[in-house]
Every structure is written in C-alpha cells, then in structure tokens.
Structure 1
C-alpha cells in the first residue's frame, strides 16, 4: 500500500509578514515559480519590448474609460510641476503627468521581463510598486482602492497573454512556458500589492495618535 503521508513544512507567519525574502520564497514554492519561469520571462522580453508602448496606451485608455479610475490621475496631477491648475483639469492621455506614468509603467514591464536574478533589490522594487499605491509611502492622494489594482493586474495579464498567443514564430512548448510564467508572476505581484494594502488597512484602523509620517513626493507607474 502506498504511503499517503505528506511532509508538512513549517511556515513562520510572523516572518511572512515581516521578511520580504521569506514571503517571496513561500509564495514561489507554493506556485512552483522557479528560475525556469524567470528564464521564460527573459525569453519573452525581446518579443514583448516592441509591444510595450501599445500596451501602455491600451492600459491607460482603459483606466481613463472609468471616472473612478481616471480621477486618481487628476488627484495625483495636482502637484505636478508645470501642470494646469485643477480648475482646468483637462487631463488627457497626452498630458505630461500621464505621459510620465506611462513611461514608468513601460520601465516596470521591461525590468520584470529582463531581470535575471530576483535578488533582494528586485524584490524590494516589486514591493515598492505596491507600497506606492497606498498612503504608506507618504502620499495620501495615491491611496487607491485595491479593487482597481486587482482589476488592472488581471487586465494587464490578459493583454500580455493575448500578445503572446498572436506570436506565430514560437514553438508551443516555449509559448506555454511563458504563459505559465506570466501567470505566476502576476500572482506574486498581486500578493506584494495586497501586503501593503493590508498594512495600510491595519494602520488606518490603529490609534489616531500615532506620529504622522514624513511627507515625501512619490511617483508610481500607474497612478
């Protein structure tokens, strides 16, 4: 008779919430995200790079198609140097603050696809992307509801998969490997967003007598 016993690995819940590397290693092991997946993302990079400007335009058109997401850009643009006064608020996809964020978004995609070693510096970068969309980074105007982040990540993943499926110069095995790597990556990035949103939620529910955070100017890639 086969032994159905399963080895159970201990996971330290305190470390999961305080140690970024430990958290990543747990999520990666659970998803079976390995160096092979990183290699698949690297393989996709040269094919995806020419598509990134169109991806950025498509993503921001989607964000501008709903007032609830477009208003985040209006709020974020209020302090942008050289931007029009709020009373004019004629924000378009070609406005300077939006062009800047499309550029940041493009840099983000390129870095994700070309990173060879997911070291602590890169993990901090992915984590910071999540943090910048909450008030944890010192900018209350970027305290975006998680529902919009979740929807955006799902939308972006589908855009990338659609682009991948339209590539006819790649064998099916490689295409399948890239697809799986993209899917795993977005679950990892989604977790690093939710980490900071949960921290923000907990902090906002804590005592109002806590010391006010230092205010800093931040620029994120999506809002």
Structure 2
C-alpha cells in the first residue's frame, strides 16, 4: 500500500481500512493461521470466557444499563432487549441470546481462514450493531465501554494461552501477538462507527 493515507477511503472502505491496518500492524496470513491453530485450545473455553464477560458487564451499573431497552427500539426485537427489569436476569433468555452471539463471534474469529470481504463486513457489523447506525436511537453503547470490553476479553484469552501446558514459550508468544493484533484491528472496525461520538 504505497498511496498516501490521506487519499485512501479509510473511513468507508472496509477492505482499504483492513489492508492499511494489517500492513501497519504487520498482521499477515501467518497470524491468521496461528489464530486457527489456537482454536483447538480456546474453543473448549468459550463458555467460560463468555460467562466471565457477562459477569463483568453485570458487575457495573453503567454497563448493565444497556441491557434494559424497550423492544420496539431494538434491531433484534424482544430478543435483544428487556422492557421488564424485574424479570431480567443473568440467566434469562435475553442474556442467553447475547451469550450465544458472543460465542459464535469467538468461534468465527478463530476459525476464519480467509479474511474476504464477507468476513470484513461481519467485523464491521459487530461494531455497527452497538451504535445508532442500525437505526435504533436508544441503543448506543458508548465507545469507552466497548474499548474496555475488548481489553478485558483480550486479557481473558491471553491468560488462557499462558496456561496452556503442551505448547512452548515461542508458540505462546506468537499466539498472544496474533491475538493482540486482531483485537486492535477489531477495535478499529468498531471505531469507524463512532464518528459522531468523537465530535462531541
């Protein structure tokens, strides 16, 4: 990518944005293969990872509040919201739906072998669905919480990698580096949907 970045459509072209970030972070096919190889260790732990994430979100009122939205304002209908706070629980259907979405996300990022345009659209959608861009004016998770969650999720996975017994230090190092690069790329796919928030 030799073209000056100020001439690149980094804010609206997913492929261009990814290629720039991949080159900047030196995120290569080798990193993708490492994520694929890592899946055999991480996938069995996904239920534990997801549980930790949602327990963390429920431990702060400021993040828990985002689960209390009126169904008519949710792009997922009543699956993605709860109008009745008293019936809303950590083990309720709403949260189970969200847990399943996170589980599928983790499986996908670990198993995806070809980062084609369809996969990039998926990474972008994961960011977009948390914002007003989906046409749901009352469903907008502030970027601060998104960034904090990405960091928390990455730390959980790094901790799992460090505790794997049957791989050597160098392999663990490459796995952690690959995971770190991925989450920074995902972070930037989130950030492209928060332009209005940055102006405030």
TM-score (norm 1): 0.81
1:14-57 Cα shifts (integer Å, max 9, x gaps) = 51122110110001000000000000100110111110001101
| 1:148-187 equivalences in 2 (<5 Å) | 148-187=145-184
C-alpha distance in structure 2 between counterparts of 1:25 and 1:60, whole Å: 32
Q: Which of 42, 45, 49 matches 2:43?
A: 49
Structure 1: gaps (5+ residues): 1-7, 206-223
The Cα RMSD (Å) is 2.0
Post-superposition offset of 1:84:
6.8
Alignment-derived partner of residue 136 in structure 2? 139
Tell me if structure 2 keeps the 8 A contact 1:157–1:186: yes
- The structure whose Rg is larger is 1
C-alpha deviation, 1:89, in angstroms: 2.8
Q: Tell me the number of residue pairs that the alignment of Structure 1 and Structure 2 aligns.
A: 194
Corresponding residue of 1:192 = 189
Residue 142 of structure 1 aligns to a residue whose secondary structure is coil
Q: Which has the higher helix share?
A: 2
Counterpart for residue 78 of structure 2: 80
In the TM superposition, structure 1's runs of 4+ consecutive aligned residues that sit over 3 Å from their partners are: 76-79
Q: In structure 2, how many angstroms separate the alpha carbons of the residues matched to 1:150 and 1:18? A: 20
Quote the offset at 1:13 in angstroms.
Answer: 4.1
Equivalents in 2 of 1:175, 1:49: separation in Å? 16
Q: Per the alignment, in what secondary structure is the counterpart of residue 183 of structure 1?
A: helix
Q: Could you tell me the TM-score, scaled by structure 2's length?
A: 0.90
CA deviation digits over 1:83-119, x for unaligned, max 9?
8752x53321101000000000000000000000100
Q: Is the 8 A contact 1:72 1:141 kept in 2?
A: no
Q: CA deviation at 1:11?
A: 2.0
Structure 2, unaligned stretches of length 5 or more?
none
**Aligned residues of 2:128 and 2:190 also touching (Cα < 8 A):** yes
Does the 8 Å CA contact 1:63/1:70 hold for their aligned counterparts? yes
Measured in 2, the distance between the counterparts of 1:105 and 1:17 equals 25
Q: 1:171–1:95: structure 2 CA closer, same or farther, 3 Å change rule?
A: same
Q: 2:28 aligns with which of 7, 30, 34?
A: 34
